[in-house]
Amino acid sequence: MSNKTEGDGKEPINEQAVANLYGAMRSEISQLYSKITELEMEVSEHSLVIGAIQPLDPSRRCYRMIGGVLVERTIKEVLPAVQRNKEGLQEVISRMNEALEKKKKEISEFEAKYKIRMKKSDSDVKDDANRKEGSAQGVLVGPAGAKE
């Protein structure tokens, strides 16, 4: 997964090459985050389906989409397949999280090696200040003398 602009094992020659390599690494991390989020949404959908069909009669008809084709099956046949798919997705997510952690470590080492620091723009600084001020929004607190 490692992208080197100058070839395998060679150091980048100039600042532009370092910047390009750093941008590629950040892009790769961003792609990993988005893919993990997408897969977590699929796991959530699988959980909803499992929760909906589990209490039903196993001999009841249900329909499953396989490769773009809607197939009629029974709940007894579909439920184990959906559970296996969910487990497989969870395994893929855990592997991708491991790859993400490796990439984060790699990029932090790269930042330390080339002394890379990200500058915050004025709008980012203002957003941070707004987040700190509004961090308690939506929290309900009972009367001071109330006991649980």
What number is the average pLDDT over the span 9-16? 74
Q: Give the pLDDT of residue 125.
A: 54
pLDDT digits (tens, 9 = 90+) for 34-81: 999 999 999 999 999 999 999 999 999 999 999 999 999 999 999 999
**Torsion 13-14-19-20 (CA) sign:** negative
- C-alpha to C-alpha distance for 47 and 139, rounded to whole angstroms: 29
Q: Considering the entire predicted model, what is its pTM? A: 0.71
Q: Which helix (H) or strand (E) holds 133?
A: helix 122-133
Q: Which pLDDT score is estimated for 118?
A: 80
Question: pLDDT at position 69, please?
Answer: 95
Segment 98-144, tens digit of pLDDT: 999 999 999 999 989 888 888 776 666 555 555 555 444 444 444 55
Domains recognised in the chain with CATH numbers: 15-114 (1.10.287.370)
Residues 6 or more apart from 34 whose CB is under 8 A from it?
A: none
What is the predicted pLDDT for the residue at 138?
A: 46
Position 145 scores a pLDDT of 53
